[in-house]
Amino acid sequence: MKLPAILQGEARTRFLQGIAFGAVATMAIGFAWGGWVTGENARIRRASAETSGRMSVLVPLCVAQFTAADGAIAKFKATGPYSRENVVSEFVKSVASTSMDYSFAKACATGVETEIAKTATKT
């Protein structure tokens, strides 16, 4: 069986080099501009999206629970801005079976500040 001319001698070397260069260029372009990601990067993005989705649902519930607690708003206003998440976690221990961690308490404290600002502008 006779091989085609492209697979013989110098042409074969150039052909294989072209294939290798094309594969490397395809991967570089795919990862740089094509949106390809590794498995680890995909896992991190999925976890981040899951957390932000959960927060968007739980923060309004946390704000509602906090504002319904007796004396919570007064203590919140009396506390400095750097320890307000501690006040929130003191009054609200869990929301919809989700325990209060620092990032959740901080997001809830921000929501409470927004709610207080809305109430202040209405009156």
User: Residue 85's CB: how many other CB atoms inside 10 A?
Assistant: 22
Instruction: Give yes or no for residue 55 having a pLDDT over 70.
Output: yes
Mean pLDDT of the chain: 85
- The reported pLDDT for the residue numbered 28 is 93
Q: Collapsing DSSP states into helix, strand and coil, what is residue 90?
A: helix
For residues 67 and 115, the answer to whether their CB atoms sit within 8 Å is: yes
Q: Kindly tell me if the per-residue pLDDT of 98 is higher than 80.
A: no
In this predicted model, which residue has the larger pLDDT, 42 or 102?
42
Per-residue pLDDT tens for 26-37? 999 998 898 888
Residue range 12-34: mean pLDDT, rounded: 90
pLDDT at 29: 92
For 89, other C-beta atoms within 10 Å of its C-beta total: 21
